[in-house]
Amino acid sequence: MTAKNLAPNTPAHQSQVRRIGILIYSGAEILDIAGPSEVFSFANLMLILKGVTKEPAYIVDVLAEQAGIVTTLMGLQIIATHAYNEVSDDLDTLIIAGGFVPAGFFPGIEVSDPSIFKGTVLMEWIRTMSTRVRRLASVCTGAFALAESGILNGRKATTHWDFCQRLALDYPEVKVEPDQIFIQDDNIFTSGGITSGIDLALTMLEEDWGHDIALAVARYIVVFLKRQGGQSQFSSYLTTEATHRPDLRELQTWIMEHPTEDLRVDVLASRMCMSARNFARLFSAETGMTPAKYVEMARIDVARHYLETSELSIEAIAEKSGFYDAERMRRSFIRQLGVNPKNYRDRFTRHYSPTNEM
C-alpha cells in the first residue's frame, strides 16, 4: 500500500505525528491502557512496513497525577511519562482508562472512589482538554470521569455492561446505551468493558488512515476489526433489579425461575394485584426496562445457559426457555444480543474453536 491509494477520507495532514495521551491512576485496569497503546504501536509498524510513512505516526504518552510509577488494578506497575497538568495543547487524542469502581458497588468488598475522579482540578483539566483535542475518549469505567466532568450531559455514552445502570443512576443527564461496544457522539468516544478499548482504538485508526491499515493491524493482533453484536452477548444479562420495592424484586426472581410460565403483562400485574397499566409504569420506573423486555431477557438468559452448557437442539432450548418457537428465539437473540443462537453457541460453547471464525 502506498500513500496515493489510501482511503479517500484520509486527512490531508496524514504525515503529522499524532500524540495520544492515556490518563491513568492508581487502580486503573491495565488492559484499558495496554489495548489502545498496542493498536497505535502496531499502526506505526504497519504504516512503515507498507511504505505509507517513514517515521512513527503516533506517540503514546501515559499521563497521571504526577510522573512516575503507578500501580494498576492487578498489581503491575506502569511508569507515567507526564503529569496530566503539564500537558495542554499538543495532544491529538486523550483517552481515560477505566478501573474505577463506585464505592459500595460490590457488597462486602471495600473499594473506594479514587480521589482523582472527584478532584476539581482534574475535572477542570478534562473540560479544558475537551475543547483542545480532536478526540476525547474513555475505556470501560473511565466514562465515570467524563460524566463527573459534565462532558457527557445530553450525550449518548456507554461503559462496562455491569456498570451501565450505576452510570445512569449517578448521572441521569447521560443517555446510557448498555449494549454498545463503543459510542461516538461528536468528538467524544466512550467504550464498553476492558477489551473494547481495542475496538475503540481500531476505529480511530481507521478514521485516521483508512480501512486497509486498520484491518492489517486488527489481523496482526488477532482481533476482529468490527465485532458482531454488542456487550450483551458477554454479560450475565439481568443485573437490573428493583431498588425500592421488595415485592418487585421477588417477582423478578420468580420470572427468572419460571421462564415457561405465562408471563404476559396482565398476568404479572394480576400477581401483583395491580392494573396492567399501573404495574407496567411502576416496573419500568423501578428497573429501567418494560416488563415485556425483562421477560424476554430472562428467557434469553435461560437459553444462553443451555446453549453454553448442553448439546440440546435449538428447538428444545426454545421450548425449555419459554420461547416455544426457535424462530421467535432467533429474533430475540438478534434483537437483543446481535447474534443468533447458533452463532452464540459457536462462540461460547466449551468446544468452540477460534479457527471457525478467523
Domain with CATH 1.10.10.60 in the chain: 246-354
* Local confidence band at 344 (pLDDT 50, 70, 90 cut-offs): confident
* Local confidence band at 10 (pLDDT 50, 70, 90 cut-offs): very low
Domain with CATH 3.40.50.880 in the chain: 15-233
pLDDT of residue 200: 92
pLDDT of residue 162: 84
* Local confidence band at 357 (pLDDT 50, 70, 90 cut-offs): very low
pLDDT of residue 89: 78
pLDDT of residue 355: 41
**Mean pLDDT across the stretch 332-349?**
85
* Local confidence band at 241 (pLDDT 50, 70, 90 cut-offs): low
pLDDT of residue 329: 95
Report which DSSP code applies to 178. Answer: T
Residue 167 near residue 147, CB atoms below 8 Å: yes
**Mean pLDDT across the stretch 11-31?**
81
**Mean pLDDT across the stretch 231-251?**
68
Strands 93-96 and 58-64: unpaired
Q: Residue 165 pLDDT > 50, yes or no?
A: yes
pLDDT of residue 356: 39
Q: Residue 6 pLDDT > 50, yes or no?
A: no
Q: How far apart are CA 153 and CA 207, in angstroms?
A: 25
pLDDT of residue 264: 95
Among 224, 222, 227, CA closest to 180: 227
Chain centroid offset of residue 196 CA: 6
Q: How far apart are CA 202 and CA 35, in angstroms?
A: 10
Q: What percent of the chain has pLDDT over 70?
A: 82
Helix H or strand E segment including 83: strand 82-83
pLDDT of residue 4: 32
- Summarize pLDDT for 33-90 with one digit per residue, the tens: 999 999 999 999 999 999 999 999 999 999 999 999 999 888 899 999 999 988 877 8
What's the CATH fold of domain 15-233? Rossmann fold (3.40.50)
What's the CATH fold of domain 246-354? Arc Repressor Mutant, subunit A (1.10.10)
- pTM of the full structure: 0.68
Q: What is the mean pLDDT of the chain?
A: 84
Residue type at position 145: A
Other C-beta atoms within 10 Å of 105: how many? 14
Residues ≥6 apart with Cβ < 8 Å to 2? 50, 51, 52
pLDDT of residue 271: 93
pLDDT of residue 250: 86
Backbone angles phi, psi at 24, to 5 degrees: -125, 175
Q: Would you call 70 helix, strand, or coil by DSSP?
A: strand
Q: Residue 126 pLDDT > 50, yes or no?
A: yes
Residue 239 or residue 93, greater confidence: 93
pLDDT of residue 308: 80
* Local confidence band at 218 (pLDDT 50, 70, 90 cut-offs): confident
Q: What percent of the chain has pLDDT over 90?
A: 53
pLDDT of residue 182: 85
Q: Residue 204 pLDDT > 90, yes or no?
A: yes
Q: How far apart are CA 35 and CA 149, in angstroms?
A: 24
